[in-house]
Amino acid sequence: MRLLADGSRTMNNDGINRRLVLSCLTALLALLLPAQAIDRPNFILLMGDDHGWEETGYNGHAYLRTPVLDEMAATGLRLDRFYAAHPNCSPTRGSVLTGRHPNRFGTFAPNWSIRPEEITVAHLLREAGYATGHFGKWHVGPVKATSPTNPGAMGFDEWLSHDNFFELNPILSRNGGPPTRFEGESSAILIDETIRFIRRSNQRGTPFLAVVWFGSPHEPYSGLPEDLALYNNLPVRYAQQVVSLTSNETGSPVQRPLRDVLRERYAEITAMDRAIGTLRTYLKRDGLRDNTLLWYNGDNGTPPSGVAETLLRGLKSTLYEGGIRVPGLLEWPARISTPRVSQLPTVTSDILPTVAALAGQAIPNRPLDGINLEPLIAGVMTSRPTPLFFWSFNSAGLGDRAREPYIDPDLQMGTTPLVKLMNGLPTRNFQNFHYSAIEAHDFAGPRVILNNDYKLIIGSSDESTRELFDLRDDPAETRNLAEREPAVVEALEKQLREWQHSTLNSLTGVDYR
């Protein structure tokens, strides 16, 4: 390089040649390795188990310490109206994987499996050349090698996973192998495994999708001594309240003072928060943070055993805000350089279409319930173009029709034990059934349509119940406007019914033909 009279610089022939060689090599790599991380972002999808909207420092919790999530909220895109697609865990997890409401594929409740024909975000990204890994809670089918709905069958190259949730010293299955006990705090274990997966992918020059579904803070609760000590001074008034949860000693229900329970629950959330911090530090140190989209959310609202005070109505398993509104945070320095807070309604079903678009992949040719949030990430989406829908399907109403298993029951038997017993067993078995024809009473069950302004809830107590809330002015859902706004109720109810019909049509399996 030589200096010109005006002080600018120009390349000599050697410099020009070097630059030409580098340009040719880059072009050749782009042709030979189209999945290079230099072209497309990496994705890390994190999810807490039973982590409610109010249980973060940035949402004003009086006692919880979540410094890492608070920093993500302060520097990234904070989704203040982010929803789980269902008020319970297995269905929501199915929505993350597929971009579809879980009723479309018969994942009606916890321990109902996904269907093998579903196309997941991992399938799409693996086709695009991404390395794909799952770590932690699975809960949409067994994780064993023979399961047709294990993480491998659903698009993941590798997995260290559990059929359901877990506590300290978790027992996990690697790639469908025999369950193995891992010593330590479970969130830290998952993040250590995730970092090893990312490091291998990065060494190969391959972009990655890492899905990390924590076992925390699902009950029964436990924590490290240093985390428990942070919450030794919770208000004495909580000691007068008694809640029911699982005993870590017996695996059966037990009643304990809320103060002791909250101490353990908050310790789990703090440990999970710290593990996320470990991941962020690694990404920064290895130069991956700028081009990695880190997405955190909960899978449903806070359970009865974990509630102190909340501004929202309802709990886990309900369709009020407290049952489905959860923390939602996106961090991606390359594209989200200025911190923002969004009040647009967004949902776990949006994850697949968003990630697919950012990876340059087409979405599956079947009905989806989520939308691409890339315009929201870019700061140009001012309203949601389609409503959100929620529906707790009344599977008991299927009666004798729900008798033909969709998957061989032997393949639906879980292997990874957990503390909480169910029917006397420490493991979980799954189910899914064929659904052949739509009948009128199949439309029953609590259901919701939610747009940018209004939320209509039908059937919260019985089929005649109609509740309409303006969440802009009444996020606590204290004022039912149904009688005052009959035209709004009628219009929203019609949209909801049409969506239900589409969903039941999917349930028959027509989308797979």
163-206 residue pLDDT tens: 999 999 999 999 999 999 999 999 999 999 999 999 999 999 99
Q: Output the pLDDT for position 399.
A: 87
Identify the residue whose tokens are 């919880």. 64
Average pLDDT over residues 393-398: 93
Average pLDDT over residues 18-25: 39
Q: Which helix (H) or strand (E) covers residue 457, if one does?
A: strand 454-458
Mean of per-residue pLDDT scores for the chain = 93
Q: How many CB atoms lie within 10 A of CB 464?
A: 7
Coil, helix or strand for 210?
strand
Work out the widest C-alpha separation in the chain, in whole angstroms: 90
Dihedrals phi, psi of 28, to nearest 5 degrees: -65, -40
Torsion region of 379: left, alpha or beta (phi above 0 gives left; psi -120 to 50 gives alpha) = left
**What amino acid occupies position 428?**
R
**What amino acid occupies position 20?**
L
Coil, helix or strand for 124?
helix
pLDDT in tens, 130-164: 999 999 999 999 999 999 999 999 999 999 999 99
Q: In terms of Cα–Cα distance, which of 75, 150, 166, 155 is closest to 427?
A: 166
Q: Output the CA angle 277-293-206, nearest 5 degrees.
A: 105
Average pLDDT over residues 306-319: 95
pLDDT in tens, 470-486: 999 999 999 999 999 99
pLDDT exceeds cutoff 90 at 222 = yes
CB 64 within 8 A of CB 55: yes
pLDDT exceeds cutoff 50 at 459 = yes
Spatial distance between the Cα atoms of 40 and 206, rounded to a whole number of angstroms: 10
Spatial neighbors of 38 by CB under 8 A, at least 6 apart, are none
Compare 339 and 29 and report the one with higher pLDDT.
Answer: 339
Q: How many CA atoms lie within 13 A of 154 on its CB side?
A: 30
Q: Which CATH architecture has domain 42-220+266-387?
A: 3-Layer(aba) Sandwich (3.40)
Burial class (CB in 10 A: 0-12, 13-18, 19+), 128: middle
Residue 131 is given by DSSP the state E
Spatial distance between the Cα atoms of 42 and 378, rounded to a whole number of angstroms: 17
Q: What percent of the chain has pLDDT over 90?
A: 90
Spatial distance between the Cα atoms of 171 and 185, rounded to a whole number of angstroms: 12
Dihedrals phi, psi of 257, to nearest 5 degrees: -60, 135
Dihedrals phi, psi of 243, to nearest 5 degrees: -125, 155
Domain ranges of the chain: 2-32, 42-220+266-387
Residue 404 is given by DSSP the state S
pLDDT exceeds cutoff 60 at 17 = no
Average pLDDT over residues 81-99: 98
Q: Output the pLDDT for position 5.
A: 32
pLDDT exceeds cutoff 50 at 6 = no
Spatial distance between the Cα atoms of 420 and 223, rounded to a whole number of angstroms: 17
Q: Output the pLDDT for position 9.
A: 33
Q: Output the pLDDT for position 3.
A: 32
pLDDT in tens, 403-436: 899 999 999 999 999 999 999 999 999 999 999 9
Enter the tokens of residue 485: 């706004």
pLDDT exceeds cutoff 80 at 37 = no
- Model confidence at 248, in pLDDT bands (50, 70, 90)? very high
Q: Output the pLDDT for position 401.
A: 85
Spatial distance between the Cα atoms of 471 and 378, rounded to a whole number of angstroms: 25
CB 350 within 8 A of CB 114: no
Spatial distance between the Cα atoms of 51 and 469, rounded to a whole number of angstroms: 24
Q: Output the pLDDT for position 36.
A: 40
| Least confidently predicted of 121-125, 171-175, 245-249, 395-399 | 395-399
